[in-house]
Chain A
């Protein structure tokens, strides 16, 4: 199993380590609910060094990425990023990712840990097919970089203590000025970090990417700076419950190569009017024919055990049909109720539709709800 450069830090903090996508990662330090609530009420730091980074640059980079990704990369000014999906020719999701324009002709992709090899092979193949090798440099820098996410309502007031000097690229005066999806290059000791205002929790926050050998210094600095505000180290368990409450997809659960971003409810990030891109034609056809399934959020209305991935979903009534299965499901630490997401036929996707979730052979009532399930107070 692979380990991140923060492995020793997790051991020292008593993190409980589990396997996740080929990586040995902390699932929790104290408890999932404890860490989850720390992020909702104060702040938390997550090791996301397992995630991949790919640098794409050169005069052909913009056109190349605009063809490879569903969102419109041309809308990005230097210093800004966007969520996007990389699809295959059938419109199925190869990965969901963040793309930052770090310069006029340079981009940084943040990709899922479990998809690094697939993504890089796909991008290289596309590059070759386009005969664009001369105008694009594509480098997988995943092993060279470490990353953390610092999330929660108390984070914005402390970030300038972690990065006290003015960001190097001059777009903002200080990190706390970064708007959602904005990124800056910042000095950190003897090195430089990418600091982006984004996250995977539904809270305000930042993701910080630095060379791997400096990530532990960033981790320690954030822990020290945030301690008085109640910042806690958080594991993948809380990361999963936090993102489920706000209905962010997790690759392998809500997204896979057979599922289009349209079915996943990510149409906002698919720019159908930007010109040709990979997967567009297939998605246009699917849209015209009618989507066969839609991702819905649900919450349990019966008192029950928490819904878990793969539990069957049933329609109500005299002749119940199996509609699909739970994609992600858990007990919501914020709401204290079982919640989840599932793919169902479109006629069952309307909010307030009553459904059943089968848990260990028994059916329990649930209700389709609007996304996100949890809204910031």
Chain B
């Protein structure tokens, strides 16, 4: 059964966001890393980049495939996780901790109303 922390918000496309003030930390879910397996490469966005919710902004690659990562919220990239670029396996071993991908300053207009609650996300992935 996938780990779905109760203090996070989720995107339908399997990213999580940890909000504090106007900063969101973003990564991919335990379910997503389990589906991908063996993350071998992570391509992170440029710091300073402005994104709309749903924009492609990173790529996570397993042995088999490349998967696009989407911005769960509108905002500006403020920081990327160099540790995960150097050691992509952190996405597998600690998806909600050391495996975070980037931080963004959430746009003032962004309400986050498209994001799912942990319960809604669990329903989306079929209770898995």
Chain A positions near chain B (C-beta within 8 angstroms): 27-28, 30-34, 36, 237, 241, 304-306, 308, 330-331, 333, 360
Residue from B38, B41, B43, B64 with most neighbouring chain A CB atoms (10 Å): B64
Tell me which of A30, A304, A306, A360 contacts B63 (CB under 8 A): A306
Given contacts A33-B38, A306-B40, contact A27 B66 (CB under 8 A): no
On B, residues with C-beta under 8 Å from A are 37-38, 40-41, 43, 59, 61-64, 66
Contact of A360 among B38, B40, B59, B62 (CB under 8 A): B59
- How many angstroms from the CA of A305 to the CA of B59 in the assembled complex? 9
Bound Cα distance from A326 to B40, whole angstroms: 19
Contact present for A331 and B37 (CB under 8 Å): no
CB of B66 within 8 A of CB of A32, answer: no
Secondary structure at the B interface, as helix, strand, loop or mixed, is strand
Inter-chain contacts of B64 with A (CB < 8 A): 27-28, 32, 237, 330
* Docked complex Cα distance between A32 and B63 (Å): 7
Query: Which residues of chain A are within 8 angstroms of B43 by Cβ–Cβ distance?
Result: 305, 360
The docked-state distance in angstroms from the alpha carbon of A305 to that of B43 is 8
Residue of A nearest to B36 (CB): A31
Chain B residues near A36 (CB, 8 Å)? 63
Hey, which chain B residues are within 8 Å of A32, CB to CB? 37-38, 62-64
The distance from the CB of A284 to the nearest CB of chain B, in whole angstroms, is 40
| Complex: A301 Cα to B80 Cα, angstroms | 24
Residues of A within 8 A of B62 (CB): 32
B49 CB to closest chain A CB, in angstroms? 15
Note all chain A residues with C-beta closer than 8 A to B40: 33, 306, 331
Q: Find out whether the CB atom of A305 lies under 8 angstroms from the CB atom of B38.
A: no
The residue in chain B whose Cβ has the minimal distance to the Cβ of A337 is B40
Contact A237–B63 (Cβ < 8 Å): yes
Q: How far is the CA of A32 from the CA of B39 in the complex (A)?
A: 11
A241 to B64, alpha carbons, bound, how many Å?
9
Roughly how many angstroms separate A360 CA and B40 CA in the complex, as a whole number?
A: 16
Which A residues lie within 8 Å of B66 (CB)? Answer: 305-306, 308
| Complex: A28 Cα to B64 Cα, angstroms | 10
**8 pairs of A and B residues whose beta carbons are closest in the complex:** A31-B37, A32-B63, A331-B40, A33-B38, A305-B41, A31-B38, A305-B61, A331-B63
Rounded to whole angstroms, the CA-CA distance of A98 and B102 in the bound complex is 50
26 sampled A-B residue pairs with Cβ under 8 A? A27-B64, A28-B37, A28-B64, A31-B37, A31-B38, A31-B63, A32-B62, A33-B38, A33-B63, A34-B38, A237-B64, A241-B63, A304-B41, A305-B43, A305-B61, A306-B40, A306-B41, A306-B63, A306-B66, A330-B63, A330-B64, A331-B40, A331-B41, A331-B61, A333-B63, A360-B59
